[in-house]
Amino acid sequence: MKRLRMVAGALAGLILAGFAAAQNPAAAKTSGKKSSPTVAAAQEFLDEAESRYFDLTNKAQRASWVEENFITDDTEEIAAQANQELSAFSAEMSRKAHEFDSLTLPTEMARKMLLLKLSAGFPAPADAKEQKELSQVLASLDGDYGKGKWCPSGNASKCLDVTAVGKLMATSRDPEELKRAWMGWHAVGAPMRQRYARMVELGNKGSRELGFRDAGALWRSNYDMAPDELTKETDRLWEQLRPLYESLHAYVRGQLRKKYGNEIVPAHGPIPAHLLGNIWSQEWNNVYSLMDSPKPPQSYDLTKILEDRRTDVQGMARYGEAFFISLGFAPLPKTFWERSLFTKPADRDVVCHASAWDIDSKDDLRIKMCIQITEEDFRVIHHELGHNFYQRAYNGQPPLFQNSANDGFHEAVGDTIALSVTPEYLKKIGLIDAVPEASGDIDYLLQQALEKIAFLPFGLLVDKWRWEVFANQVKPEEYNKAWWELRRKYQGIVPPVERTESDFDPGAKYHVPSNTPYMRYFLARILQFQFQRALCRETGYTGPLDRCSIYGNKAAGERLNKMLGMGLSKPWPEALAVLTGETQMDASALADYFAPLRTWLDEENKANHYPVGW
């Protein structure tokens, strides 16, 4: 994930109104009573705001890095303070930017003013006490998730952190054990409930002070369209893909039923959430081995290959870096290898959820990830490096433009590269000896779909839930109920045991306590296939998209870099057009990629009498 202005913006959301007022008390109090603003004054305001914003962002980045790498009461406090300062400053600048609303500014300045108005990711109210409270609540929620553990049978010497629970849920096929692990991890959320409700109150108050309906409307304002348009846009994209998801759901339910029996998996109803190989049932690739799709003769197990070759954690990252280098990008800086966290330390709590950082907005790029030597983390490492190469590509832009075209773009870049990790590519770099025949495409597409298609409704619903919470359509006393209604409606899954309002299951998902927006991942799933289709076209490739790898193609690299280098300087449709020639987010690239699988799934479901829907 991109930290700058995302977690930093969110975590910090608040602090600086007091700070900015202290710096310039007159400016903070005089709105409504001054002489008409001028373009020159606007320029001066922007220059100052950008430079201060740059400094505060970097300070907050560093504090958050330390906090997430060494979670203690002290580092939480230090991160809270730095983020408070940034957040309050952003809120104040957002307010002040309105003083220039009457001017017609040159395009670039106008865009900066707009971005400044949106820069407070999760703004605190102007009241200094409330700012402090919000920043502390945010830091403590983030820390709680990082410290989260499941201690089976209450045995404190045998506790499992999120990585260990994830591994168990990926590999165990014992439904009782899976249920215990699922419940064990989900207990991490419960203590967060009150603080989460308070966080919502404060963030909404801050958002309203800046003229937004609520914090959700602020989040949805970051897409160069009206907030309600974004809601419609995501619903439109989902409707394009829903039939494919339902077909996959039907097939997987039928196969799980075969494995676990009718008692555990119903014929028609939703799938129990603990059986899908993932703590949150968000991606189902870990139950691939339970699917009896036709395996081609030369099929391979990348996890096993990586293990057999004794690939180490840095070796995993080297594969990702080498791909970018093959496209013409410069190698990662030496400091990346020295300063990143690649392994879970044995002696302290860290936030293991993978993230990519640009500490100084120059070249201090890092990742923080508790890497496992698996096929899944091979993909995640490409995802993270996508963030780092994006960060580097736009670091020549002015501070306010140092971000992706929209947040879905940031999440899509590394995944686009990972789509090029095809069997042909693996053979080229010597990881496999033979490429499975084209007849194995269905099997390959099924593996991909268990990751990409299975994720779509989850990617959509996390923020559907938050938007409803922020809009006060869902009140604290129905947080969990609303969560499970959405999980059932969109994903067709149910919890393995009854849940109540003493649980807080959204809190067991990193992005909720860390207050990181999630719709970006839904958008990224769509965008990465658009990016991939365009880049493959650039290389002259005309075959099936799942077999296309852009590895080594400098023309594709150049085209990609051209878009990345634009950062946030232009509305996202312009950036999209630079890479793809298209100006709309469009699910057709994804649908085309999976078209052969769609036909196959529909036939299988029919032949096996697997009903569709729940």
| Nearest residue to 395 via CA among 365, 368, 375, 430 | 365
221, 285, 326, 355: residue in contact with ligand X8Z (rule CB under 6 A): 355
CB atoms within 10 A of CB 340: 22
Which C-beta is closer to ligand X8Z: that of 380 or that of 460?
Answer: 380
- Cα 272 to Cα 496: distance, rounded to the nearest angstrom: 5
At 59, give phi and psi (nearest 5°): -65, -45
CB of 395 to ligand X8Z, least distance (A): 19
Q: Which residues pair with 150 in a beta bridge?
A: 160
**409 is an interface residue for ligand X8Z by CB under 6 A:** no
**Burial (CB count within 10 angstroms: exposed 0-12, middle 13-18, buried 19+), residue 149:** middle
- Contact region for Zn ion (CB under 5 A) — 13-21, 137-145, 251-259, 409-417? 409-417
Tell me if residue 262 falls in helix, strand or coil: coil
Which C-beta is closer to ligand X8Z: that of 411 or that of 441?
Answer: 411
x/- mask, ligand X8Z, residues 232-271, rule CB under 6 A, reads: ----------------------------------------
- Cα 300 to Cα 322: distance, rounded to the nearest angstrom: 22
The residue number whose beta carbon is nearest to Zn ion equals: 1
**412 is an interface residue for Zn ion by CB under 5 A:** no
- Cα 128 to Cα 16: distance, rounded to the nearest angstrom: 8
Tell me if residue 355 falls in helix, strand or coil: strand
Which C-beta is closer to ligand X8Z: that of 11 or that of 16?
Answer: 11
**1 is an interface residue for Zn ion by CB under 5 A:** yes
CB of 466 to Zn ion, least distance (A): 18
Question: Which residue in 411, 451, 468, 538 is the catalytic one?
Answer: 411
CB of 282 to ligand X8Z, least distance (A): 6
CB of 30 to Zn ion, least distance (A): 42
Which C-beta is closer to ligand X8Z: that of 93 or that of 418?
Answer: 418
Tell me, yes or no, if 187 is annotated catalytic.
no
Tell me, yes or no, if 384 is annotated catalytic.
yes
Which C-beta is closer to Zn ion: that of 375 or that of 411?
Answer: 411
- Cα 248 to Cα 606: distance, rounded to the nearest angstrom: 12
**1 is an interface residue for ligand X8Z by CB under 6 A:** yes
CB of 354 to ligand X8Z, least distance (A): 4
CB 111 within 8 A of CB 39: no
CB atoms within 10 A of CB 215: 30
CB of 393 to ligand X8Z, least distance (A): 17
For residue 31 the two structure tokens come to 């709105």
Tell me, yes or no, if 438 is annotated catalytic.
no
Question: Which residue in 186, 249, 274, 387 is the catalytic one?
Answer: 387
The residue number whose beta carbon is nearest to ligand X8Z equals: 1
Residues within window 508-567 making contact with ligand X8Z, judged by CB under 6 A: 521
Query: Taking CB within 5 to 8 Å according to partner kind, which of ligand X8Z, Zn ion, none is near residue 313?
Result: none
Query: Taking CB within 5 to 8 Å according to partner kind, which of Zn ion, ligand X8Z, none is near residue 187?
Result: none
Which C-beta is closer to Zn ion: that of 413 or that of 454?
Answer: 413
Tell me, yes or no, if 437 is annotated catalytic.
no
CB of 369 to Zn ion, least distance (A): 11
**508 is an interface residue for Zn ion by CB under 5 A:** no
Residue with tokens 């391979």: 300
Query: Taking CB within 5 to 8 Å according to partner kind, which of Zn ion, ligand X8Z, none is near residue 281?
Result: none
CB 39 within 8 A of CB 393: no
Query: Taking CB within 5 to 8 Å according to partner kind, which of Zn ion, ligand X8Z, none is near residue 217?
Result: none
Chain centroid offset of residue 585 CA: 17
For residue 141 the two structure tokens come to 């929620």
Contacts with 37 (C-beta within 8 Å, 6 or more apart), sequence order: 99, 100, 102, 103
- Contact region for Zn ion (CB under 5 A) — 158-166, 205-213, 253-261, 406-414? 406-414
CB 393 within 8 A of CB 578: no
Angle between the N-to-C axes of helices 554-566 and 407-419, in degrees from 0 to 180, rounded to the nearest 10: 170
**378 is an interface residue for ligand X8Z by CB under 6 A:** no
Got the DSSP string for 204-216? HHHHHHTT-SSHH
Residues within window 28-87 making contact with Zn ion, judged by CB under 5 A: none
Residue with tokens 């790898």: 549
What residue type is assigned to position 491 of the chain? Q
Count residues near Zn ion (CB under 5 A): 2
Q: Which residues pair with 356 in a beta bridge?
A: 2, 367
Instruction: Kindly give the pairing relationship between strand 271-272 and strand 355-358.
Output: unpaired
Tell me if residue 556 falls in helix, strand or coil: helix
CB of 409 to Zn ion, least distance (A): 11
CB atoms within 10 A of CB 264: 16
Which C-beta is closer to ligand X8Z: that of 50 or that of 161?
Answer: 161
Tell me, yes or no, if 521 is annotated catalytic.
yes
Instruction: Kindly give the pairing relationship between strand 493-494 and strand 355-358.
Output: unpaired
For residue 210 the two structure tokens come to 């800046």
Which C-beta is closer to Zn ion: that of 131 or that of 416?
Answer: 416
Which C-beta is closer to ligand X8Z: that of 355 or that of 515?
Answer: 355
Residues within window 269-288 making contact with ligand X8Z, judged by CB under 6 A: 282
Query: Taking CB within 5 to 8 Å according to partner kind, which of Zn ion, ligand X8Z, none is near residue 561?
Result: none
Tell me, yes or no, if 274 is annotated catalytic.
no
For residue 21 the two structure tokens come to 């007022």
4, 237, 380, 385: residue in contact with ligand X8Z (rule CB under 6 A): 380
**354 is an interface residue for ligand X8Z by CB under 6 A:** yes
CB of 407 to ligand X8Z, least distance (A): 10
Q: How many residues does the chain have?
A: 614
Question: Which residue in 274, 382, 410, 511 is the catalytic one?
Answer: 511
Which C-beta is closer to Zn ion: that of 105 or that of 412?
Answer: 412
Count residues near ligand X8Z (CB under 6 A): 7
Per 3-state DSSP, what percentage of the chain is helix, strand, and coil (rounded to 5)?
65, 5, 35
Chain centroid offset of residue 559 CA: 24
Contacts with 22 (C-beta within 8 Å, 6 or more apart), sequence order: none
Tell me, yes or no, if 354 is annotated catalytic.
yes
CB 467 within 8 A of CB 478: no
Residues annotated as part of the active site = 353-354, 383-384, 387, 411, 511, 521
- Which residues of the shown chain bind Zn ion in the complex (CB under 5 A)? 1, 411
- Which residues of the shown chain bind ligand X8Z in the complex (CB under 6 A)? 1, 282, 354-355, 380, 383, 521
